[in-house]
Amino acid sequence: MNKSQKRIVFVTYAGVLPFYLSPMVGYCDINEILVKFSEINTISSLYAALIVCFLSGMQWQKIIEANIKGFFFYSPIIPLLLVSTYALKVNGIYSSFILVVSLFLSLSIDLKLVNKKSDKWFRKLRINATILASISFFI
């Protein structure tokens, strides 16, 4: 693995750490001192929605660069943005479920779009990061 690949792996896994902010604060007794637990959950949900929106934007770029035409390729991306943003207004387990579904839908779109263009190590990294981020919602 070269230096560039190591940086990508580091940044990807570092980006997964904020998903665990809510579970970490939930197990500590410092919630009342720092911020209310519900606000931490909102921040974690916002972070997840922002990640899904960022990934969707990257997918649009790949679609445009590859000159993929047809409604089939464009249609999943718009609802993905809306669903991930809607998750912020829904409380509890529904919000977590919507965000996890959005993360896996984004992963599946990515794997379809970049399957031939990306290396095996990158696809594996993307799958691992999605699974790790999703687990944080069920802790």
Give how many domains the chain has, as a whole number. Answer: 1
- Checking if the pLDDT of 119 tops 90, the result is no
pLDDT given at position 96: 83
Of the chain, the percentage scoring pLDDT greater than 70 comes to 73
Domain that includes residue 29, residue range: 3-138
pLDDT given at position 8: 92
Condensed to tens digits (0 to 9), the pLDDT of residues 16-34 reads: 998 887 767 666 655 555 5
pLDDT confidence of 128, banded at 50, 70, 90? very high
First to last CA, the chain: 32
pTM (two decimals): 0.80
Which of helix, strand or coil describes residue 58? helix
